[in-house]
Structure 1
């Protein structure tokens, strides 16, 4: 049999276990129940021999469609396969497989050996590709080589996830225990967002899930992401990783200081208090920040040092690179409780996905972020833009169908939260214009109504939970501090501590 399959070998030095491959196939053909022991982790691509991999695929197809896999049912498939003609077809193949069968107790171990040999081959191939890309660059920069290797390792890491199976009684016991634990944490099932209104609806961010926070520009996506990251880190005392692809770590820090000191971000950036507009339309001169303002900034800076937040502003990062950073943090003594991505479309997909267009790239990134969350056992919160269709509607309140670039975001996310600030749109549109046939009194009435409505929504925002896989949807009324770029729960009040 070894000579038969050696002809299909690509490289003789590659790790393989042909005896284990034949044993697994023979075991399943003798007793289809053997397939149940290996189907959760063994795939056709894991076989070294293309013939063995093809046979496993055919056997798998028969069993998964409710049929029986044995020499009789395989015969028409083998006889009709051109690829098996060179190895003797059905007459030469099946008897050898049947004779190679050792026994049911060995099938899982043999399948594990097959998969381990495949991982070794993939690592060798990855290292060979890396060497070729370095020796003969062909336009590949060192960063692209690193991205390629990291993505390959990420793919292998995802494939190593253990199968998790539970009896119903065991799962129910875990549910009861989790419910009891959550009741001791004010109903927080996962990682607290730091915002009471949001935690009341979603119960915290569940580890291993992807949450999408989306909005049009100026709706406060970064403010929401930073607020959740800071408040969660402070409340739980556990580290949060914040990746910012658009705003620098310094700019994030300015927001955090501004929220605490009530000094507008623009003043912190410039070191000056901005001048006020005078009656003639001109502005008074800007003045340097006062000493007491600098003192407040210093106090806020000291207090912020107690928040276990790590900011990474590496531009155009890949999920593989983010996984490497997060994995090291998760394995360290301090651990990792949450990852915030600001924002998803600014990440970079693989070269193959990029060649297929933005839709394919965002779909890949979304799926990889979900896999990252599951692999590390932490929640991932990803910010994302909404498409321009929102702006074209009279009612600009968004829905999850407005998500930009990929419908896969809606599928992958456990929670989708949309941001809406009506005040912004009222400012953009301005007061209503007088209609040609409208009387002055009627027009002034509409202007008065507009002004009252604008006053009612000033400093307000809505967090719309448009998808919640584990619970109900709903709308949360929030306060938004524009100069400080910070969200607060309504119940906290405008003058409350931001974090």
Structure 2
């Protein structure tokens, strides 16, 4: 099988010489390297130069320009002039593009061998380099034409009609499972990078896992990269929230017969859900990208990826702010490429704890510049009772050191108020979503529905278990 067609190449170039306006149509599809014969490449490249200078693309100007560059070949030029111009230029140009793409794939296959055998790199870096080259070939074959307003408006109206036909008119993106959060965000959009940030013990991991659980219950695929804890611990939290069995009881295996039965049902259900967990601790952005691309290809239903957490992704960059910038930008591009929302958890600076009002703001993000720029949505988790408990313990400690007794006014609750503060939203409002957090099950719930189900109970203060 020939991977080139010189007759078509000559016919297209002849058509442009006959009518210079045709160049614009061909140039929107082909580039000089898409021609197989080097002389044909030089001719098309020179046509481009004449076009940019607003000079006629005809035999006289083209011949003179080629001679100035010492790229003129009289015999090959006469072959072009003597070829009958092609009429359906765009169709033949696309055929040439297809042949050129196949030649690039053959070249890449040879280059893969060279990369693997000659370059002194780790295998994962070689895979990433090969994937990048393949992705470049794939995207270079796409049309880069502007969309005219009429077509964009038609597509937009179709989108609005589809949304109007949905039963749940609030959610236009991925349903988070939280009513008020959906109301504020309209769900997570395809290609969105969502940052969930908080100080330790606020419940970042719990909140992300709650969202993951809500999504897989819709039979939509979720991938979780757990860089901080083993997959089994992560699954304990998810099963605790789903079955509403206290996490501590699950960890100890201290369950009643009824709870064992409930756990078995939850385990069977989750086993049949499209949930994928990767708990490789030392992982870089290249590996994450390669794994998600592969998973998406194998499971087109993949609808969400979660990374716990951003600062644990390894990087070759020595400067940490440069590393975070590279990681956040790569995650945003990956979300767009795979057309799924990606949630990345992030730590906050300690600085906020020195303020009277400890509610987080964008400036509290570690390496906030890059993250703030790349993220479509930035959410903070804040639970005031965490700080009240810390203050109460500190007072108690200071009193004991002085040999005094102190009455603790603050009583720790089993179910606490929680705030999801939307500090940035590229396509929607900012504000606060009020929720409740059940520490026993590591479960966030909408405040109104949760109040109707369970009334908060009070207990004597004790050091809470780490939630993240």
Smaller-chain TM-score bracket: 0.7 to 0.9
Residues 414 and 440 in structure 2, CA contact (< 8 A), matched pair in contact too: no
Q: What is the aligned counterpart of 1:68 among 32, 49, 54? A: 54
CA distances 1:422-451 after superposition (whole Å, capped 9, x unpaired): 333444455787xxxxxxxxxxxxx99x95
For residues 333-348 of structure 1, the aligned pairs below 5 Å read: 335-347=301-313
User: 1:490: Cα distance to partner?
Assistant: 0.8
- Per the alignment, residue 178 of structure 1 pairs with 162
1:145 maps onto 2:126 in alignment: yes
1:220 maps onto 2:203 in alignment: yes
Residues 11 and 83 in structure 2, CA contact (< 8 A), matched pair in contact too: yes
1:265 maps onto 2:247 in alignment: yes
1:328 maps onto 2:312 in alignment: no
Residues 147 and 321 in structure 1, CA contact (< 8 A), matched pair in contact too: no
SS in 1 for 2:299: helix
Segments of structure 1 that go 5 or more residues without pairing to the other structure are: 1-13, 272-287, 434-446
- Per the alignment, residue 11 of structure 1 pairs with none
- Per the alignment, residue 283 of structure 1 pairs with none
Residues 154 and 323 in structure 1, CA contact (< 8 A), matched pair in contact too: no
1:464 maps onto 2:421 in alignment: yes
Q: Distance in 1 between the 2:190 and 2:22 partners?
A: 34
- Per the alignment, residue 312 of structure 1 pairs with 278
1:424 maps onto 2:386 in alignment: yes
User: 1:195: Cα distance to partner?
Assistant: 0.8
- Per the alignment, residue 278 of structure 1 pairs with none
User: 1:268: Cα distance to partner?
Assistant: 2.4
CA distances 1:195-245 after superposition (whole Å, capped 9, x unpaired): 1111111111223433332333333222122111111221x3333333333
CA distances 1:250-296 after superposition (whole Å, capped 9, x unpaired): 1221001222444443442343xxxxxxxxxxxxxxxx555555444
TM-score, normalised with respect to structure 1: 0.68
User: 1:55: Cα distance to partner?
Assistant: 7.0
For residues 210-249 of structure 1, the aligned pairs below 5 Å read: 210-234=193-217, 236-249=218-231
For residues 51-450 of structure 1, the aligned pairs below 5 Å read: 52=41, 56=45, 59=48, 68=54, 70=56, 85-87=69-71, 102=85, 105-107=88-90, 109-110=92-93, 113-114=96-97, 116-136=98-118, 138=120, 140-159=121-140, 165=147, 167-182=151-166, 184-234=167-217, 236-271=218-253, 293-305=259-271, 307-315=273-281, 316=283, 317-330=287-300, 335-347=301-313, 354=316, 358-391=320-353, 393-405=355-367, 407-430=369-392
- Per the alignment, residue 439 of structure 1 pairs with none
Q: Distance in 2 between the 1:245 and 1:297 partners?
A: 26
User: 1:95: Cα distance to partner?
Assistant: 10
Residues 338 and 378 in structure 1, CA contact (< 8 A), matched pair in contact too: yes
User: 1:106: Cα distance to partner?
Assistant: 1.0
User: 1:108: Cα distance to partner?
Assistant: 5.8
Change (3 A) 1:432 1:229: closer
Residues 363 and 406 in structure 1, CA contact (< 8 A), matched pair in contact too: no
Residues 324 and 367 in structure 2, CA contact (< 8 A), matched pair in contact too: yes
Residues 50 and 56 in structure 2, CA contact (< 8 A), matched pair in contact too: no
Residues 87 and 93 in structure 1, CA contact (< 8 A), matched pair in contact too: no
SS in 1 for 2:177: coil
Q: Distance in 2 between the 1:211 and 1:312 partners?
A: 19
- Per the alignment, residue 277 of structure 1 pairs with none
- Per the alignment, residue 439 of structure 2 pairs with 482
Q: Distance in 1 between the 2:77 and 2:389 partners?
A: 76
Residues 197 and 345 in structure 2, CA contact (< 8 A), matched pair in contact too: yes
Change (3 A) 1:26 1:244: farther
User: 1:177: Cα distance to partner?
Assistant: 1.0
TM-score, normalised with respect to structure 2: 0.72
Aligned length: 433
RMSD of the TM alignment (CA)? 4.7
CA distances 1:67-124 after superposition (whole Å, capped 9, x unpaired): 736459xx8xx98x9x9744369x999999998894674146425624x455445434
Q: Distance in 2 between the 1:38 and 1:88 partners?
A: 21
Q: Mean Cα displacement is larger for which, 414-423 or 48-57? A: 48-57
Residues 224 and 276 in structure 2, CA contact (< 8 A), matched pair in contact too: yes
Segments of structure 2 that go 5 or more residues without pairing to the other structure are: 396-405, 455-468
SS in 2 for 1:187: coil
User: 1:59: Cα distance to partner?
Assistant: 3.9
